[in-house]
Amino acid sequence: MLKRIAAAAALLGGVAVVDRFINRDRGLGGNRLHVSETEAAYREAAHRILIVGGGFGGLNTVLELERQLEGESGANILMVDRNNDLLFAPLLWLVANGRSAASDVMVPVRAFQRRRGFHVLYARVTAIDLDNRQVTTDVGPRPYDYLVIALGSVTAVPDLPGLRERALFSTWRCTPCNCATT
């Protein structure tokens, strides 16, 4: 069983390496290096696609859009997230148990960005203005033509005796009403 779990973790960590060979064989990306862009270049793009959230949903959306828009001129994809890594939470117990290193369950977003054209802005989203088509972050506003919101999910807690009473949950505060949500 542990070998299967370790293989799944290696698979998640090795996605970027496997993706390199798959894309090279299909002619997608090849040896193309990722080139950073300026804020002005994003603002001047013909089609600005902004994805809020860099978890599984946001990252899969970015990768699929990148694949479908390969060769399209004028399309610009920007993913905004406050973290610079993708955490595979189901394997965290291996880290806590000492069977694995933290780097085995966390993959940097930049590993997926290699040889691709999408860009990442590491920032917190503070507001979304749907009328003006603009997302405000702690580093400034970003306009968009298409918006994808992929901010995550609620953690499912199994119904095990004592787990809910003893588990440590992170508390998130909703800005408009300052209510605590777990």
Which tens digits make up the pLDDT trace of 102-147?
Answer: 888 888 888 888 778 889 999 999 999 999 999 999 999 999 999 9
- Which is more confident, 182 or 113? 113
Tell which residue, 120, 94, 119, has the closest CA to residue 10: 94
* Residue 117: strand pairing partners: none
pTM of the model: 0.65
Q: What confidence tens digit (pLDDT) does each residue in 41-73 have?
A: 888 888 999 999 988 889 999 999 988 988 777
Question: Of 3.30.160.40, 3.50.50.100, 2.30.30.40, 3.20.20.70, which CATH number belongs to 2-152?
Answer: 3.50.50.100
pLDDT of residue 10: 41
Q: How would you label 60-87 residue by residue, b for 16+ Cβ within 10 Å and e otherwise?
A: ebbbebbeebeeeeebbbbbbbeeeebe
- Which is more confident, 4 or 110? 110
Separation between Cα atoms, residue 55 and residue 117, nearest integer Å? 18
Residue 36 neighbours by CB under 8 Å, 6+ apart:
119
Strands 85-87, 106-108: pairing is antiparallel
Task: Please classify residue 131 by burial: count the beta carbons closer than 10 Å to its beta carbon, then call 0-12 exposed, 13-18 middle and 19+ buried.
Answer: exposed
Q: What confidence tens digit (pLDDT) does each residue in 147-179 have?
A: 999 987 666 677 888 877 877 665 544 444 444
* Residue 75: strand pairing partners: 47
pLDDT of residue 17 exceeding 70, the answer is no
pLDDT of residue 151: 85
Dihedral sign (CA 50, 52, 53, 57): negative
Q: Taking a C-beta distance cutoff of 8 angstroms, is the pair 18, 10 a contact?
A: no
Q: Taking a C-beta distance cutoff of 8 angstroms, is the pair 104, 91 a contact?
A: yes
Each domain of the chain, given as residue ranges in start order, spans 2-152
pLDDT of residue 4: 41
Q: Which of 13-22, 76-85, 97-106 has the lowest mean pLDDT?
A: 13-22
Separation between Cα atoms, residue 151 and residue 55, nearest integer Å? 7
Q: Taking a C-beta distance cutoff of 8 angstroms, is the pair 118, 41 a contact?
A: no
pLDDT of residue 70: 80
